[in-house]
A = this chain, B = another copy of it.
């Protein structure tokens, strides 16, 4: 496979350097030669999005995706309606910043069957499509690891995400492929090619799975610190036709506790050597 030799396709999620504000992420990423940024919404609270967009432009940063929408399922219909409202807001924010994609963490309600949650996810996405189309923002279904099936995502495999995309059949809806969530799946290669054939790969996220992993949310590893065959999976994704950014999305109490400028250099080394 092709080795990565420069940072032209490196994107970093703002949550990877959680201690930094949106302004700090933009400034430090840009200075460090990183061109792609995926923006987490909580950093936008109280901000003037026009100013953030200008800041991105001045610093030659490309907003790759807005994270995150989703959380469609609920036993309560008014909660499902609130979720739709929030997703429309996410689409507005993405459009305002020039981000082409909103990543969907699809959600699950532990009080109901996963199949019911999955139908509510499809319903929710279908209801958003006209709005998304109007705003020119795509929606990326991100299948999460099965350890999040209880409350965060009833979509736990690329097969399911592909099934949903084929059922929804809209050019506005595709998939975010994250190695952390999907590396264990023996059907992954085939499903990546299926996703690519449908032109549905909208994003590719990388990090690593530490052994042992000690926290369900905040113990991800930098690429090379774990056991995920990241280069192999990137190869499949590229062979499947994806030409977008490799997005580094690491949540780690351990790494957030470090000097974030030094950590940013480690991210770049890890990107070149282990992605």
Q: What is the 8 Å Cβ interface bit string for chain A, positions 97-112, against chain B (1 contact, 0 not)?
A: 0000000000000110
**B147 x A226 contact (CB < 8 A):** no
**B209 x A184 contact (CB < 8 A):** no
A149 at interface by CB-CB < 8 Å: yes
Q: Which of B149, B184, B210, B229 contacts A184 (CB 8 A)?
A: B149
Q: Hey, which chain B residues are within 8 Å of A216, CB to CB?
A: 212-214, 216
**Min distance, Cβ A275 to any Cβ of chain B, angstroms:** 17
Q: Hey, which chain B residues are within 8 Å of A145, CB to CB?
A: 146-147
Q: What is the 8 Å Cβ interface bit string for chain A, positions 207-242, against chain B (1 contact, 0 not)?
A: 001111110100000000011010000000000000
Q: What is the 8 Å Cβ interface bit string for chain A, positions 73-117, against chain B (1 contact, 0 not)?
A: 000000000000000000000000000000000000011011100
- Write the chain B residue with the least CB distance to A187: B159
Assuming the contacts A147-B147, A150-B227, asked whether A211 and B160 have C-beta atoms less than 8 A apart, the reply is no
Assuming the contacts A184-B146, A216-B212, asked whether A110 and B226 have C-beta atoms less than 8 A apart, the reply is yes
A: interface residue count bin: 20 to 34
**B151 x A110 contact (CB < 8 A):** no
**A213 x B115 contact (CB < 8 A):** no
**A150 x B209 contact (CB < 8 A):** yes
Q: Which of B150, B160, B226, B227 contacts A212 (CB 8 A)?
A: B150
Assuming the contacts A212-B151, A214-B216, asked whether A227 and B110 have C-beta atoms less than 8 A apart, the reply is yes
A156 at interface by CB-CB < 8 Å: yes
A134 at interface by CB-CB < 8 Å: no
Q: Hey, which chain B residues are within 8 Å of A211, CB to CB?
A: 110, 150-151
Give Cα distance in the complex from A12 to B139, angstroms.
Answer: 46
Q: Hey, which chain B residues are within 8 Å of A149, CB to CB?
A: 183-184, 209
Assuming the contacts A212-B216, A216-B214, A227-B110, asked whether A185 and B151 have C-beta atoms less than 8 A apart, the reply is no
Q: Hey, which chain B residues are within 8 Å of A118, CB to CB?
A: 186
**A111 x B227 contact (CB < 8 A):** yes
**Min distance, Cβ A162 to any Cβ of chain B, angstroms:** 12
Give Cα distance in the complex from A118 to B186, angstroms.
Answer: 10
**Min distance, Cβ A44 to any Cβ of chain B, angstroms:** 26
Give Cα distance in the complex from A25 to B229, angstroms.
Answer: 43
**B114 x A226 contact (CB < 8 A):** no
Nearest 4 Cβ contacts at the A-B interface: A110-B227, A149-B184, A150-B211, A146-B184
